[in-house]
Amino acid sequence: RKSIKERARLRLREFDVGGKFSHLPLPKASVLLPLMVRAGKLHLLLTVRSMQLRRSPGEVCFPGGKSEAIDKDEIDTALREAKEEVGLQPEKVEVICRLVPGIDKMNHLVTPVVGFIEDTFQAIPNPDEVSHVFVVPLEYFVQPLNYKTLPYKTSSGYLSRMHCFTYDDNEHKRSFKIWGLTAHFAVFLALVIFGKRPTFEVDYDLDNLISSSENNFMNLYASLYERKKSNL
């Protein structure tokens, strides 16, 4: 019987987009989706943005940020940011793949980089950027206890749905709201790894997850591109 990690690795490698979307002419950003095995189950590490930040203070997100000139690629960006934000050393991350990117509200092309970390990892949050670090069972993003969907219109007028999860964390005795692009990436990661239908509606053809996720992204990108042209 393959280990839970080995099965996840195999699934994720099928979905690796590599640098397929790196050429798109948008400013670049990356996030690290850090997976760990705890008590025989996959968990995902998330952070809460510091209240001092100008953009999205107090919101849940993955470690990550904008690409800098020193970064070789999206993986470099994600690892550098994770080190800066939560003290995760790059050599402690087993990078598995890059998944289909998203576009954030600032129109950055955001690439999710998936990697395994040890369950013994002790985060050292940089207080200027991160106020909390917590973990959620990955399965929560296909079988949540507390979920709602918000109709969402992108800046380019593209209609989709936004997932919104509320997770009650017993360890920290508080609830975390996970939504927006962070929830979008977490849901996709869970769909890829578990290969089962979630308990809520998603905008994918689950029988053709690879092609439908890439098509969704290209439609979103095209609608943004059209709007840029019409604004010139």
Please name every residue paired with 112 in a beta bridge, in sequence order, or none if there are none: 31
Tokens 């890439």 sit on residue: 214
| Residue 11, token pair as written in the block | 């699934």
Q: For residue 183, what are the CA distances in angstroms to 91, 99, 196, 217? A: 26, 14, 17, 15
| Residue 162, token pair as written in the block | 């936004």
> What are 51-86's pLDDT values in tens digits?
888 888 889 999 999 999 999 999 999 999 999 999
Residue 53's pLDDT is: 81
Q: How large is the average pLDDT for residues 184-210?
A: 96
Mean pLDDT, rounded, of the chain: 93
Bridging pattern class, strands 28-38 and 109-116: parallel
| Residue 76, token pair as written in the block | 């470099």
Residue 218's pLDDT is: 94
Bridging pattern class, strands 109-116 and 102-103: antiparallel
- Whether 232 has a pLDDT exceeding 80, the answer reads no
> What are 11-45's pLDDT values in tens digits?
999 999 999 999 999 999 999 999 999 999 999 99
Residue 229's pLDDT is: 66
Q: For residue 181, what are the CA distances in angstroms to 112, 188, 207? A: 10, 11, 23
pTM of the model: 0.95
**Structural domains of the chain ordered from first start:** 4-231 (3.90.79.10)
- Whether 1 has a pLDDT exceeding 60, the answer reads yes
